[in-house]
Amino acid sequence: MANDPLFIIAMIGCLVVAGILIWGIGTFSVGSDDNGKKSNKIMQYRIIAQFVAVVLIVGYVWLRQRGGN
């Protein structure tokens, strides 16, 4: 499984989502009004990245259930 390129891409997608989440929470903690708007935008990026990661994971599972290598 660790040698499968699609699995590796899906895991990278999950790590990107976690990184964006940590970045967004970090900007929330600063507390200024401008950082609130920035944090909101970062969290919107997280939602997009999370959607991509879920699509990759579902695609991986679907391909493996169909008997793909």
Its pTM stands at 0.78
Q: What percent of the chain has pLDDT over 70?
A: 90
- 69 confidence band (pLDDT: 50, 70, 90): low
CA distances (Å), origin 29, targets 11, 16, 33, 39, 47: 27, 20, 11, 9, 19
